Amino acid sequence: MKFLRRAVRYLGIAALAAIVGFNIWQIAARSLFGQELPGLLGYSALAVMSGSMEPAISAGDLLIIHRKAVYQEGDVISFSDNGNYITHRLIGQTDGGFITQGDSNNVPDPEPVYAEQIVGRAVLVIPGLGGALMFLRTPAGILLTGLFVLAAVFLAGPAGQLRERVFGSRR
């Protein structure tokens, strides 16, 4: 039982470190390198802001997208439109570009999407995590994350030793 608790604690710390690290990477890549949509190994993350792809993808979900050389009809793609990212299904192709449509929309998008606008194909949808990551990028989220990391480090180190001295070992 003690091993399981310790394993869960370390997995939680590792997950938090990965999320914080990825956010720091995205903020740094945008600021230092001017990357519009930073990614690692061809993968990027986007938070969904609207319900145009419901029920498959909802507002507040996190998308992991991967840049591909070729996209096919039926792929859910994310593309840049005047600095905004839109995620819709690719429903056709013409000489003028790709035709896209949100799953919950009645008509296709009015303008074709050109290959250079496409930033990737959705490969993973994580429900609800997009809103949380958007919060972590705000000043309040950055402050809260920093405080949480400091508290975790403090509680795992000196506070843990103090607890053992005061209350004794629980072994």
Domains and CATH numbers, the chain: 37-127 (2.10.109.10)
- Residues listed for the chain: 171
- Whether omega for the bond prior to residue 55 falls within 30 degrees of 0, making it cis, is yes
CA atoms of 21 and 17, how far apart (whole Å): 6
Tell me the two tokens of residue 116.
């250079």
CA 99 to chain CA centroid, nearest Å: 26
Tell me the two tokens of residue 56.
């498959």
Q: What is the pLDDT of residues 49-100, one digit of tens each?
A: 888 999 999 998 988 899 888 899 999 999 988 878 899 999 999 888 999 9
DSSP 3-state percent helix, strand, coil across the chain (nearest 5)? 40, 25, 35
pTM passes above 0.85: no
Q: What is the pLDDT of residues 93-118, one digit of tens each?
A: 988 899 999 999 999 999 999 988 99
